[in-house]
Amino acid sequence: MRSVAEFLTMAATFDEQARSAREPSLKKRYADIAECYRLLAAERQRLIAEGAIQSEMSVNRSSGCEKTAS
């Protein structure tokens, strides 16, 4: 499952593609896809806030996967 940050990164990627596209139909399609990723990020953030799912950091901590400094 993707994180909120990953969804927002994908949104930014498609926003950039929409800005650089010359074809109006592609411009709109890329902008629509970017909006979909923002909606996914918002929904995931809402679910985390409500406690319905764990945040990525909580999952990593509970599984012992947090990064340690070397």
Task: Give Cβ neighbours of residue 56 (< 8 Å, ≥ 6 apart).
Answer: 3, 4, 5
Q: Is the pLDDT of residue 2 over 60?
A: yes
For residue 10, which of 35, 45, 42, 44 has the smallest C-alpha distance? Answer: 35
Q: Does the global pTM surpass 0.85?
A: no
Q: Is the pLDDT of residue 1 over 90?
A: no
Residue percentage of the chain with pLDDT more than 90:
73
Count of residues making up the chain = 70
- Mean predicted confidence (pLDDT) in 20-49: 97
